[in-house]
């Protein structure tokens, strides 16, 4: 059923094919977060991989900076209905982190943890094989605090709430444990192309 | 745990439209949610063109949670806005739209969460805060609350009469209206300091508005010593 009097402002076909259902293109870079930006000092910053509560490996900012670099460009999709095209990121792939830590596949699931105590769950398979990185640069410059710097997760094939800002670590879990939004009615997986915004979508 | 019923698209009929400023209109929609709402939540609106093309946007609920089968939204008409332009120029009483909700589990306040409650709104970002104030007045009037409401000009204040009346008649509710335009100032440390002195240490703080406003306000509040974990933010965009 159509809405009386609504014609809409259709984006060009080239844009439409790149927009998942229910999304619109934005040129801005909207900011989404649940609270204030945490204050993060690079001198004390650490990034830690854990299996459950057991630390597997931890890097200081300098050690992290010495890891192999990865770049990715493409489109990102936020659950609040905007998408941004051709974003360019650089950081360290989760594959390279695991290799440096000397671990294979600890468990089938992970929780990303932020310095703001935010958490979000991502299956292990969605973090590896080049599908995710811990990004430190956006568009050639260090990621600003508003966008999750100094380091944020980037899992661009899922809704952007999965790309946790101000990342302090990844915790591998036995079960698929919901994170902050997943416990509040948002989808456990969050595939934009299947419009998995909310529980049951 | 997280398995739950799908959030369905519902038909909502516009039963009332009231202009509240030159850019913002209030819309009352008849809709029955299949789950209870909490103050601070929003809905998704979906408009469909005759050829099936759709546009989808989020709007905060301005009304307090109620069982009367209606909600109020306040939409600011943006000059070329695809959806807000429809609300501003096309929508009429009797029209039916698709909507789903209520959505959002972080930017929410329930009476049992307690107070004091510090609300900081910029422009149309006051909308979800209004739902909290309305709910507080009806369900928990003993909880102290203070609203810092920042707008460019006096004629952009949403529901000024209601806010002023509440501040005058509701013990425990305090209003600080701040104009940023002509001769006014942006919210700053002094203003935040005054608010904290008037309210006392807030147990919960909610900040809503455009990006730069929310960023600036949350930094000021953290600098003023508030525990970041007690501060929740929502951004409408921009
Ligand atoms: C949780 C939430 C609650 C909201 N509550 C309200 C409300 O109560 N009242 C209200 O008037 N508006 C509210 N908004 C904003 C609203 O969803 C729309 O973004 C706004 O009405 C503009 O839509 P449009 O179709 O008219 O404009 P568009 O045609 O989309 O264009 C307007 C401009 O804004 C940009 N834009 C659009 N949407 C967003 C976005 N979400 N973030 C960043 N930039 C964007 C576009 O790129 C474009 O430059 C809310 C947004 C969110 C996320």
Hey, what are B100's tokens?
């789903």
Question: Over 90: is that where the pLDDT of B237 sits?
Answer: no
List, in order, residues 6 or more apart from B233 with CB less than 8 Å away: A33, A34, A35, A36, B107, B206, B207, B208, B214, B218
pLDDT above 80 (res B161): yes
Question: Taking the CB of residue A54, how many other CB atoms lie within 10 A of it?
Answer: 10
Contacts of A64 (CB under 8 A, 6+ apart): A47, A92, A134, A136, A151
Instruction: Let me know: does B149 contact B176? Beta carbons within 8 Å.
Output: yes
- Asked whether the beta carbons of residue A31 and residue B211 sit closer than 8 angstroms, the reply is yes
Q: What is the pTM of this model?
A: 0.94
Q: What is the pLDDT of residues A23-34, one digit of tens each?
A: 999 988 888 889
> Is there a single domain that holds both residue B57 and residue B165?
no
B18-70 confidence digits (pLDDT tens)? 999 999 999 999 999 998 999 999 999 999 999 999 999 999 999 999 999 99
Which chain A residues touch B13 with a CB distance below 8 Å? none
Which of B82, B103, B124 is the last residue before a domain boundary? B103
User: A60 pLDDT band (50/70/90 cuts)?
Assistant: very high
Q: Give the whole-angstrom CA distance, residue A22 versus residue B152.
A: 32
CA of B229 to the centre of ligand 1 (A): 26
CA distance A26 to A28: 5
A4, closest residue in chain B (CA to CA): B95
pLDDT of residue B6 exceeding 90: no
Is residue A112 within 8 Å of residue A164, measured between CB atoms? yes
At which of B103, B121, B139 does a domain end? B103
Q: Is the pLDDT of residue B238 over 80?
A: no
A173-184: pLDDT as tens digits: 999 999 999 999
Instruction: Please tell me whether residues B115 and B232 are part of one structural domain.
Output: yes
Residues of B in contact with A83 (CB under 8 A): none
Domain count, chain B: 2
Which residues, in sequence order, are CB contacts of B91 under 8 Å at separation 6+? A5, B14, B17, B27, B97
Name the residue with the closest Cα to ligand 1, atom 31: B81
Do residue B55 and residue B115 come from a single domain? no
Ligand 1 close to Cβ of residue A28 (< 6 A): yes
Together in a domain, B89 and B9? yes
Q: Is the pLDDT of residue B3 over 60?
A: no
CATH of domain A40-176: 3.90.420.10
Please report the pLDDT score of residue B182 as a whole number: 83
Interface test mutation site (partner A, options B5, B51, B206, B237, max chain A beta carbons within 10 A): B237
Distance in angstroms (rounded) separating the CA atoms of residues B144 and B200: 9
Tokens of B68: 């009367």
Interface ipTM: 0.90
Characterise B143 by phi-psi region: left (phi > 0), alpha (psi -120 to 50), beta (else): beta
Domain coordinates in residue numbering, chain A: 40-176
Task: Indicate whether B136 and B162 sit together in one domain.
Answer: yes
Mutational test site, ligand 1, from A82, A147, A184, A197, max ligand atoms within 8 Å of CB: A82
Torsion of CA A75, A116, A80, A73, to 10 degrees: 0
How many A from CA of B61 to the centre of ligand 1? 14
Same-domain check for residues B57 and B164 = no
Give, in order, the Cα–Cα distances in Å from B52 to each of A3, A114, B46, B59.
Answer: 10, 40, 11, 22
Q: What is the predicted pLDDT for the residue at B221?
A: 97
B196 and B127 share one domain: yes
Domain extent, residue B189, equals: 111-236
B98 and B164, same domain (yes or no): no
């Amino acid at each position: 059923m159509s809405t009386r009097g609504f014609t809409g402002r259709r984006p060009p076909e080239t844009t439409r094919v790149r927009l998942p259902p229910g999304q619109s293109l934005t040129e801005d870079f909207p900011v989404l977060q649940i609270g204030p930006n945490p204050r993060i000092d690079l001198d004390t910053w650490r990034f830690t991989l854990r299996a459950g509560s057991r630390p597997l490996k931890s890097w200081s900012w300098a050690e992290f900076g010495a890891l192999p670099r990865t770049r990715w460009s493409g489109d990102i999709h936020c659950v609040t209905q905007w998408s941004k095209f051709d974003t360019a990121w650089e950081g360290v792939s989760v594959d390279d982190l695991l290799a440096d830590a000397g671990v294979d596949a600890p468990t089938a699931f992970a929780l990303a943890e932020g310095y703001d105590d935010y958490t979000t769950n991502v299956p292990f398979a969605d973090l590896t094989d080049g599908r995710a990185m811990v990004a430190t640069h956006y568009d050639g410059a260090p990621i600003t605090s508003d966008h999750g710097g100094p380091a944020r997760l980037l899992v661009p094939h899922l809704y952007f709430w999965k790309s946790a800002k101000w990342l302090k670590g990844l915790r591998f879990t036995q079960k698929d444990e919901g994170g902050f939004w997943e416990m509040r009615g948002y989808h456990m997986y969050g595939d934009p192309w299947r419009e998995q915004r909310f529980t049951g979508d | 745990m997280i398995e739950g019923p799908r959030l369905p698209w519902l038909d909502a009929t516009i039963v009332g439209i009231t202009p509240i400023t030159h850019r913002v209109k209030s819309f009352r929609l008849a809709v029955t949610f299949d789950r209870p709402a909490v103050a601070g939540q929003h809905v998704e609106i979906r408009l469909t063109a005759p050829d099936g093309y759709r546009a989808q946007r989020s709007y905060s609920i301005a009304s307090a949670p109620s069982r009367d089968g209606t909600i109020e939204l306040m939409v600011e008409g943006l000059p070329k806005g695809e959806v807000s332009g429809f609300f501003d120029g096309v929508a009429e009483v009797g029209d039916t739209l698709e909507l789903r909700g209520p959505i959002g589990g972080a930017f929410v306040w329930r009476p049992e969460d307690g107070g004091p409650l510090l609300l900081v709104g910029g422009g149309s970002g006051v909308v979800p805060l209004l739902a909290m104030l309305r709910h507080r007045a009806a369900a928990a009037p003993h909880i102290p609350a203070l609203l810092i409401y920042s707008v460019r000009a006096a004629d952009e204040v949403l529901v000024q009469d209601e806010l002023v009346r509440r501040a005058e008649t509701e013990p425990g509710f305090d209003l600080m209206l701040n104009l940023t335009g002509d001769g006014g100032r942006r919210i700053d440390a002094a203003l935040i300091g005054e608010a904290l002195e008037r309210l006392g240490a807030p147990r919960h703080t909610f900040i809503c508005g455009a990006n730069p406003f929310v960023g600036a306000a949350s930094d000021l509040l953290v600098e003023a010593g508030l525990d970041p974990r007690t501060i929740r933010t929502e951004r409408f965009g921009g």
